[in-house]
A = this chain, B = another copy of it.
Amino acid sequence: MSKVITGATMSLDGYIAGPEESGFDLLFQWYGNGDVELPSASPDVPAPQISAASAELIKPEWANTGALVVGRYLYDMTKAWGGRHPMNVTTVVLTHRRPDGRPADDENFVFVTEGIEAAVAKAKQLAGNKDVVVNGGQMARQCLEVGLLDEVGVELVPVVLGAGKTLFGELSATPVQFDGPVTVVHGTGVTHLRYRVKQ
């Protein structure tokens, strides 16, 4: 059955980005420190080279992802990944206003303006029986707040950033409890943890 999942690479002190969008070089070392290549469908994003242990977990997760939901911030920051998301699936972009000169939908991007529930519903429709992955923190927060999130994956990296953006940002409805970790995998320079939202 199709699940709604979010994942983030996080520092040991809980930050998914350091001050002023710094720290990505350290957070994402594990994306380049191995010898198993994950294919990238984006012309702008090099194919990740990850450790065998990481790949054994991540490859099937990618293969089972049917659609993405992202916010407009990430879409703009990455310049639309050069035209297609690295994971090679249609990306639903939640935005207040569709970018100029873009169709409302094509095989690469679908723009949704009616809120997080509409965005996830659209992504589920696109994903069929595969999973929907939601990025980044603000989108994940909105999903969690309306009860749409099923799982969260944390890629815990042994670095302390001291300040920055936290996993879900400032949640309005806390605390939220999870089951797990249901999976723990030790990659090189990263510990992959998977949790299920308590129903």
Chain B: minimal CB distance from A77 (Å): 21
Copies of this chain held together in the complex: 2
A158 touches B179 (CB 8 A): yes
Question: A57 interface residue, CB < 8 Å from B?
Answer: no
Question: A193 interface residue, CB < 8 Å from B?
Answer: yes
Distance in angstroms between the alpha carbons of A162 and B178 in the assembled complex: 14
B176 touches A167 (CB 8 A): no
How many of chain A's residues have a CB under 8 angstroms from any CB in B?
38
Complex A-B: 21 CB contacts under 8 Å: A11-B175, A12-B152, A12-B178, A13-B14, A13-B168, A18-B174, A23-B175, A26-B177, A144-B160, A156-B156, A158-B181, A158-B195, A159-B177, A159-B178, A160-B171, A162-B170, A162-B171, A162-B174, A181-B186, A184-B184, A184-B191
Distance in angstroms between the alpha carbons of A177 and B159 in the assembled complex: 4
Apart from A156-B193, A159-B177, A184-B191, what 16 extra A-B contacts exist at CB < 8 Å?
Answer: A11-B175, A12-B195, A14-B15, A14-B166, A18-B175, A26-B175, A26-B177, A144-B160, A158-B180, A159-B176, A160-B171, A161-B175, A162-B174, A162-B176, A163-B170, A163-B171
